[in-house]
Amino acid sequence: MAGLYYEEFVVGHEFRHELSRTVTEADNMSFSLMTLNPQPLHIDAHFAAQSEWGQPLFNSLCTLAIMIGMSVQDTTLGTTVGNLGMSDIRFPKPVFHGDTLRSRTTVLSKRESKSRGDVGLVEFEHTCLNQRDEVVAICKRMAMMRKRSAG
């Protein structure tokens, strides 16, 4: 399913995304080092073993990226102009190597753009869950979406 146009979004609609992803040590190491994040809780197994978690924590910003990425196919693929911002980002439970993530998205609101007639603004709430159905991440995101009538 390609992304939806502004007119096609319905406030309150929940998407349950079919994609899931098991995260690995390599994902964590690569993302942390690629983003210049030397946090030993992510990249040093010995250090992390001494922490309260007893193992490395999966990088929360990578979790955020995966959660939003899972939503693209169903919501914004080819129909978004861009993200305007994210807010209320929370990570209520940790993610560890080997966890399998999946996500869902709810349309919170939508409104016409005040400055551009060819787009509208859609606010999403993304929720990421692990294999135990525990919420591991949640955020709100505002996207500028193309209108079908403009194209």
DSSP assignment of 56-68:
PPPPHHHHHHHHH
Residue 119 lies in a domain: yes
Alpha-carbon distance of 32 to 114, in angstroms, equals 39
In this predicted model, what pLDDT tens digit does every residue of 70-104 receive, in sequence order?
A: 999 999 999 999 999 999 999 999 999 999 999 99
Residue 121 lies in a domain: yes
Q: Which CATH number characterizes residue 82's domain?
A: 3.10.129.10
pTM over 0.85: yes
Residue 94 lies in a domain: yes
Task: Report the domain count for the chain.
Answer: 1
Q: Which domain holds residue 58?
A: 6-150
Residue 1 lies in a domain: no
* Cβ atoms 65, 91 nearer than 8 A: no
DSSP E strand boundaries for 23-149:
80-90, 100-112, 119-129, 135-146
